[in-house]
Amino acid sequence: MTPAQPGLEVSAPRTYREKLFNLLAGRDPIEVLAQTASTLADIVARHPVEVLRGRAIPGKWTPNEIIGHLTDSEWVYGYRLRLILCEDEPAILGFRQDAWVASQRHNEREPSELVEMFRTLRLLNLSVWRRISPQDFERSGQHNERGAESLAVMVRLLAGHDLSHLHQISRYMHALESRG
């Protein structure tokens, strides 16, 4: 899995987890997850499509592609969540995020459409996250790149992942607007 943001190396799973957990800074991960769709909608409402599709850094994702990646991740994490809830110690596979973004041509999609897809998936998944018992949060799967991962760890990773990419979008939008 190629990192989407410098310094978040999946080849160093502990470092990756720590960086995402540090972004969370003790906040309730469910509350962070509940706010992301609105934050993305605000970003899309405030910026023209051309800016959202602009590439601030050659070889890096556009803000629109980041929104597409967050949508893909929500789908993947929703599947992993259900898999861990329903099976004992299932295998959890990583995915080639750059290939997903490129193959689905996220940058050609309407930003508002991507946000609505994200919002729908997030609402569906939040309904499950909010009903998980303390015992269920201890259930885990075996991630092929990061090792054993409990639902308690997974929800914190997902919330930190949201925050990481929201910061990335903000930096890229600032760089794109500074050029104009």
Q: Find the domain containing 116 and state its range.
A: 29-179
- According to DSSP, the β-strands at 91-92 and 140-143 are parallel
Note whether residue 21 is domain-resident: no
Please tell me the total count of domains within the chain: 1
Instruction: Report if pTM > 0.85.
Output: yes
| Residue 81, both tokens | 């969540």
Note whether residue 14 is domain-resident: no
Note whether residue 163 is domain-resident: yes
Note whether residue 59 is domain-resident: yes
Note whether residue 2 is domain-resident: no
**Helix, strand, coil share of the chain (percent; to 5):** 65, 5, 30
Note whether residue 8 is domain-resident: no
- According to DSSP, the β-strands at 140-143 and 147-150 are antiparallel
**147-176 per-position pLDDT tens digit:** 899 999 999 999 999 999 999 999 998 888
Note whether residue 11 is domain-resident: no
Task: Compare 10 and 61 and report the one with higher pLDDT.
Answer: 61
Note whether residue 83 is domain-resident: yes
Question: Would you give the distance in Å from CA 22 to the centre of its chain?
Answer: 15
CATH number at residue 41: 1.20.120.450
